[in-house]
Amino acid sequence: MIIQAKGITKVYNPDKIPVHALNGVDLTIEEGEFTAIVGPSGSGKTTLLNIIGGLDQPSDGEVWIRDKNISEMSDNKLIDFRKNNIGFVFQAYNLIPVLTARENVGFVMLLQNRSKEERDQRVMELLKAVGLEDKIDKRPSELSGGQQQRVAVARALAPKPAFILADEPTANLDSASTTNLLDIMARLNKEEKVTFIFSTHDQRVIDRARRVVTLVDGKIDSDERRADKSSDL
């Protein structure tokens, strides 16, 4: 078990017109899962992902990542913890425009004070894994949307995090790019045991997930585990 969310509640604007985004969510994620968190707009899935990732704080409840309660961490400790333990892939890619693919992927490792030799080796390994070894010196503006998102996946993997949180990672991609990205993520999940947790509306992501957690009105409505289909990929 790498993630345990206990009684997660999130209320926005509690002193004015309160909005209850999450209402007592309990969720456990095991190492190696390929899980989609789904639900209608306003169901709380992005809020839950942000709280698991330490980007937002719950109004009540706790999030444990392995043996650490991140809900009790100071801002500075949480920043360091995220940097070393959690990888993020966002809908809008969030690459640094002035940096090349090589530099974007290596940026977190630079913040971790990894050696140049270690950074260079890891960057090339990851860009090869996502099929972009020929784009290492291209900036985001020189890459397609699908290529940018593959750089974002490589960047998320660079510090060898405990898990990857992917918030609507295919929302801005065409069908071919989505299939390619999901193939890469599924392969990394199968071969390297990388844990992926998605927040998504995309049926293509949902169809590939081995676990689908459905939120409705800030609560878990269903939690479906499926047979491993990776041999069919």
**Does residue 120 sit within a domain?**
yes
Residue 18 belongs to what domain range? 3-227
* Whether the predicted pLDDT of 17 surpasses 90: no
Structure tokens at 70: 């991140």
Q: For residues 138 and 86, what is the distance between their CA atoms, to the nearest angstrom?
A: 26
Query: pLDDT class for 229, splitting at 50, 70, 90?
Result: low
Q: pLDDT band for position 233 (50/70/90)?
A: very low
Confidence band, pLDDT 50/70/90 cuts, at residue 228: low
Span 107-126, mean pLDDT? 93
Reading the block at residue 206, the tokens are 């949902």
Q: How far is CA 200 from the centre of its chain?
A: 11
Q: Give which of 226, 183, 205 is closest to 38, Cα–Cα.
A: 205
Residue 232 lies in a domain: no
Contacts of 203 (CB under 8 A, 6+ apart): none
List, for residues 78-103, the tens digit of each pLDDT value.
999 999 999 999 988 899 999 999 99
- Whether 195 shows a pLDDT value over 60: the answer reads yes
pTM of the full predicted structure? 0.91
What ranges make up the beta strands (E) of 75-225?
86-89, 163-167, 196-199, 211-216, 219-225
Query: Does some domain include residue 146?
Result: yes
pLDDT over 70 (residue 230): no
User: What confidence tier does 119 reach under pLDDT thresholds 50, 70, 90?
Assistant: very high
Q: Are 11 and 33 in contact (CB under 8 A)?
A: no
How many domains, the chain?
1
CATH number for 201:
3.40.50.300
Can you tell me the distance from the alpha carbon of 201 to that of 217, in angstroms, rounded to the nearest whole number? Answer: 15
* Mean pLDDT, residues 150-174 taken together: 94
Average pLDDT of the chain is 93
Whether residue 150 is contained in a domain is answered as yes
Q: Is residue 71 part of a domain?
A: yes
* 233 inside domain: no
